[in-house]
Amino acid sequence: MAQPPAPLFRDPIYDGAYHMVVGYVSGVRHDWSGPRHILHYTSADLYHWQVRGPVISDRPHEGPNVFAWRGSIWMITDTWRGLGVYRSDDAEHWEQQDNILAAGGKRRDDGVMGNHADVLVAGDRAYSSISRTPAGPGSRARTAIPCRTTNAVHPCRLLNSKSAMANWCVTATSHLTLSLDPSNKRLHMQTGNCSPQSEAYILKLRESPAFGASGFDFAGLREGMAARREPVDTSVSCTRADIDGIPGAWVFAQGADLDIRMLYLHGGGFVSGSSEFYLALAGRISTAARCAVLLPDYRLAPENPFPDGLEDCIRAYGWLRAMGPHGPARARATFIAGDSAGGGLTLATLFALRDRGHQLPLAAIALSPFADLTLTGESIRSEGQLDPIMHPGCLPDFVKRYVADADVHHPLVSPVFGDYSGIPPLLIQAGEHEIIRDDSVRVAAKARADGAEVELEIWPGMFHVFQSHEPLLPEGVQAIEHIASFMRSCMAE
């Protein structure tokens, strides 16, 4: 088989970047003969991709999709017979590990040139896709179904498993269309079709200006996010709680294990939001994860600027460990989660608990965390016209009201600058089209660099905290199930 050139592997096995290898056929004739071009891309943020180096196979319809994992180099080759998996320690000597989708290659008459496996690797986790190339001379369009491993211990078991795809699952309902722009040598990841419900909902959202587009309506924001939103499932219980002097609410579904508890920190830009507004989302999480969810009404800015709200969150977590929905009872497992400003507070609470020597939760979940109050993320500019929820103009107002005289670079204010060593596993979810998307990407990169376990999910086509919008979109259902699955996997370890 064709050997990939050594320069492709001169970098360390994991250099802090994301890697993806994409191939296409050029000079295509009717019989699909022609050179197979393989381009190796790297990215620091999953959105801006640059070519690192080309590989051209000397065998038609066959080319390497290469990635590094756990000290070895792995290659998946695309042939008429299917997909072959090879492993190497030096990029020169390759040993075949397995055949995947042995019957996957189809003739042109079947409408598909073949199946391709594209691989993206971040740290010690591998992400792959099975893609299809429409038949027809000159066709380069390819649709890829994003997948990831569900086995946290052996994320690449696909590569030596007889069951092939058994350990992989589709991570999003939409497809990605991959196309090469030769003018700037970047790979553009364009969303294909979201679910029809999401497409219609997003169009409706965009009929109204995003918050902040026509001024900062502070009073309107507070009023809106104080509204009570009942759980969709009327059997879910919602009871008021006195959390060591902090008002709040317990939410738990029928059959939930009340000794498995989540502290959920609501969003609202640090200046608005309430437990009442988050009853519906808490009910969804409780039902999916079979846990009790505690919603504290932490103090809000500007009346109570940093660090007052954070101190409430820290105190609420200590209370949750000892108190359940029905009174004193030690928790068997605890989690901290939050969205937007609450996502930032989730990360800051972890830092504070660790630094003060307190027991940490099993894991934490941050949904679209507002984690960089210096407002330097590129997505603030790139998604400014695409985010249907927040306009970039609102962000400085949130920061000014919350930070007051504090240092905006302080890790408890902007967790993107924090030290994640010793922090428990993190699941971070964000939408593709939100102005603070890069806060999630940068937090994940920093946490990985500091040795923390991180799962980052950027949902194609989605918007800020899409998991909370009712009626729940199909992507929201899947995202919440991912949260529940993540919690179960953390308890199983």
- pLDDT of amino acid 272: 98
Q: Which positions of the chain have pLDDT values less than 50?
A: 1-15, 23-36, 55-64, 79-81, 100-116, 120-193
pLDDT at 100: 45
Active site residue 340: yes
DSSP code per residue over 201-212: HHHHHTTSPPBB
The pLDDT score that the predictor gives to residue 491 is 96
Whose CA is closest to 311, among 321, 301, 322?
301
Which residues lie across from 327 on neighbouring strands? 324
Exactly one of 61, 175, 464, 469 is catalytic; name it. Answer: 464
Beta-carbon contacts of 40 under 8 Å, excluding residues fewer than 6 positions away, are: 8, 19, 20, 21, 51, 52, 53, 54, 55, 66
Catalytic entry in 286, 340, 379, 414: 340
pLDDT of residue 461: 84
Span 186-205, pLDDT tens digits: 222 333 347 889 888 998 99
Contact 194, 475 (CB under 8 A): yes
d(CA 468, CA 231): 11
Q: Is 95 a catalytic residue?
A: no
State residue 434's pLDDT score: 94
How many Cα atoms are found within 13 Å in the side-chain-facing hemisphere of 383? 25
Instruction: Give the model's pLDDT for residue 196.
Output: 83
- Residue 464 annotated among the catalytic residues of the structure: yes
| Euclidean distance between CA atoms 450 and 180, whole angstroms | 33
- Specify the long-range contacts of residues 251-255, CB closer than 8 Å, at least 24 apart: 251/279, 251/282, 251/283, 251/286, 251/292, 251/293, 251/294, 251/295, 252/286, 252/291, 252/292, 252/293, 252/325, 253/283, 253/286, 253/287, 253/290, 255/290
- Cβ–Cβ < 8 Å for 397, 352: no
Structural domains of the chain sorted by starting position, each given as residue range(s) with its CATH number in brackets: 6-191 (no CATH), 196-492 (3.40.50.1820)
- 246: tokens are 């902090």
Contact by Cβ (8 Å): 423, 350: yes
**Active-site option among 434, 453, 457, 475:** 434
- Mention every residue, 6+ apart, whose C-beta is less than 8 A from residue 112: 106, 132, 133, 134, 135
83-102: pLDDT as tens digits: 556 666 655 566 666 554 43
- List the beta strands (DSSP E) in 309-358: 323-324, 327-328, 333-339
The end-to-end CA distance of the chain, in Å, is: 40
Q: Which helix (H) or strand (E) holds 284?
A: helix 279-289
**Coil vs helix vs strand at 281:** helix
